[in-house]
Amino acid sequence: MSTPALDYVQTARHRFFDRGDVPGGLVSETILRSWQRCVGLGLSADTRPAVEPLTAQALREVCQQHEELRRICLPGVRALYTDAHATGSIVILAAPDGMILESLGSADFLGKAARVALRSGVPWSENHTGTNAIGTAITEGRAVEVRGPEHFFAAHRVLSCSAVPIIDPFGKIAGVFDLSGESSVHHTHALGMVRVAVDQIERRLFERDFSGCRMLRIQRDAGLFGTPLEGVLVFEGERLVAANRHGLSMLKLGRDDIGRKRFGELFDARFESLRGPMSVRDHLHKPIFVRAEEESSKRGTVAVSHTVAAVPDRYPDRRAATEPVFSTDLKAALGRAERVLGAGMSVLLLGETGTGKEVFARELHRRIGGDRMPFVAVNCAGLPESLIESELFGYEEGAFTGAKRHGNKGLLREADGGVLFLDEIGDMPPAAQTRLLRVLQEREVVPLGGGKPMKVDFAVIAATHRDLKVGGLEQFRSDLFFRIAHYTIHLPPLREYPDRRALIETFWNRLAADTTTRLGGDAFDVLVRYDWPGNLRQLTGTLRTLIALAGPDGTVHVEELPAMLHAQGSPPNSGWPLTTHAAAALSDITERAMRQALEEHAGNVSAAARSLGVSRSTLYRRLNKAS
């Protein structure tokens, strides 16, 4: 918090706590209301909050009660982990009553946070811990940021916290997602990052079974269907029984309208007449696009290509089929890989970033068991070296400084009975490679800090963009390579596709199917000529951006394409692995594309990363490495 802002808050605290005045205009109405509630509860700002952490057994029981919430939020926690670690922050998941269930991030700040009881097993509701982002977000029912001395208790002024409540389909608070760091550091984008994570979590909550119900997706702009900003309404008969926050906001409804409103009160159309995407008028007499689904159901991942291509899981509603579509060669490879996994052997997927390795792995998982067994994906490049062993193998209570009091099961044990997907295994630290090799040999896991060995049984699929062949990567163990590479499959980069035009046309038709957007012929030619250094991930991200930015006539013209799409010719074809020259050329192309994206978005890293189809952390890491 800047010095002038800090002075305002200090003045507000003096007037409110010492003089009993209402410091209007010095702090937000949200903070002032919270201070007033805390005083009404009899809390004293100059004392330390009287909170007692749960015992290890009690915390385990609470976590078990919220196991579904933790499972659904896990991808969001891991997605924010890299940013939290890099900025000295921690990611927190709390239960609906404010009890902290999980905290992960910077080891340094975890220790500091623990000194003010910001850790697992401690309640952070307002009535326990005063004004704070988690508790105040629960009370207010919306996103809240509380920085430094805005906290009610003086001891908490070292914190800067941003929290967003997770709203379930029925309008109830299912939990709270929070990013906390030191108040001395200005966390400019923290609240926005948490909002994005919660949007993804809430979309996953709608994957539950709404048998016998009908789901409507609504949007003021048809081009935004399939994005995290679309509204979702679920009707049982004609009664509204579930909705997301975007749907309620578009229709100016409150969460208490769920279960009360009927279709005829909201739209000027007949419920039974809805077929696919169409424009109607809502109860506000405004035009709105609705897309009806006959009955809500879960959808699988879609991949389409001459070889293999992926539509990422972030947009499940755009999937046109229930399973990927592969070429004849890749179908044969999938069949062989399925038999290899069934025989207790391992599969290694080779390919550059963005070529669809995880989609291929998930299709293998679907074929050998699907929903009946877990699929645990581990990004070996995304976990810091100091934590990868504890995350993989788990640890006993008190195994190291900062360890959770109840210990941690570890990802290898979570994968027991299912599939363990080791993404970017070439980036795994040598010490972790040694321990992983022992697990694969002995089929048992020994948690850090000792403890009884735990038997595990899972299928292993590994993936990497590196050349792991013996002698190709000095730090990768040859004996581990032979354990994970019983059957190897190469997924080619997009620049090597023999018919790029057909592939891009297929993707465009799928992504734009529910919109009126068209792609001009000249613009299409530019897309075909472009090299796509980010491969299929970059392609799908760019096509979605073009759909959202289409001109007034619904057509994407060549002048509306990002400048980076015009900037280069095709690099020479190369096989796997890349030669030194080709690898250097690809690196140069990637850097140039990233810098052009930054220029086009006026330095906005988040917008540039979205246009490229990569994460903010990836963009930061690649540009820092190049500079």
Q: What residues contact 96, with CB distance under 8 A and at least 6 apart?
A: 138, 172, 173, 174, 175, 176
* DSSP state for residue 259 in the 8-state scheme: T
Give the pLDDT of residue 33: 94
Alpha helices in 130-189 (DSSP H): 133-140
Question: Mapping DSSP to helix (H, G, I), strand (E, B) and coil, where does residue 87 land?
Answer: coil
Residues of the chain with pLDDT under 70: 1-6, 82-83, 86, 186, 188, 209, 276, 294-329, 382-389, 395-408, 448-451, 469-475, 514, 551-553, 567-594, 596-597, 599-603, 605-627
Instruction: List, for residues 145-179, the tens digit of each pLDDT value.
Output: 999 999 999 989 989 999 999 999 999 999 999 99
Q: CA 84 to CA 575: how far, in whole Å?
A: 37
- Measured CA to CA, the distance from residue 198 to residue 79 in angstroms comes to 11
- Nearest one of 435, 450, 445, 455 to 400, comparing CA atoms: 450
108-146 residues labelled b (16+ CB within 10 A) or e (exposed): ebbebbeebbbbbbbbbbbbbbbbbbbbbbbbeeebbbb
Q: How many angstroms separate the CA atoms of 116 and 137, rounded? A: 19
Residue 434 to residue 412: CA distance in whole angstroms: 15
Q: What does each C-alpha distance from 111 to 159, 325, 401 come to in angstroms?
A: 13, 48, 8
pLDDT at position 568 is 57
Domains by residue range for the chain, with CATH: 3-190 (3.30.450.40), 214-293 (no CATH), 316-490 (3.40.50.300), 495-626 (no CATH)
Note the pLDDT of residue 467. Answer: 79
pLDDT of residue 114: 76
SS (H, E, C) 371-426: HHCCEEEEECCCCCHHHHHHHHHCECCCCCCCCCCCCECCHHHHCCCCEEEEECHH
Tokens of 192: 């926005």
| Closest CA relative to residue 43, chosen from 146, 173, 165, 132 | 132
Is there a contact between 448 and 393 (Cβ–Cβ < 8 Å)?
A: yes
Q: Is the dihedral of CA 149, 150, 151, 152 positive or negative?
A: positive
Mean of the per-residue pLDDT values of the chain: 79
**Residue-wise pLDDT tens digits, 68-120:** 888 888 877 777 776 677 678 889 999 999 999 988 877 778 777 877 888 88
* Structure tokens belonging to residue 26: 């010095």
Torsion of CA 537, 539, 544, 549, to 10 degrees: 140
Residue with tokens 């929290």: 163
CA distance 322 to 307: 18
Cα–Cα distances (Å) from 156 to 5, 114, 116, 178, in that order, read 17, 11, 7, 15
CB 404 within 8 A of CB 102: no
pLDDT tens digit sequence for 236-271: 888 999 999 999 999 999 998 998 999 999 998 887
Residues 6+ positions from 531 with CB-CB distance below 8 Å: 494, 495, 568, 569, 570, 571, 589
pTM value is 0.50
Residue that is written with structure tokens 């068991």 in the block: 369
Closest CA to 464 of 379, 588, 535: 379
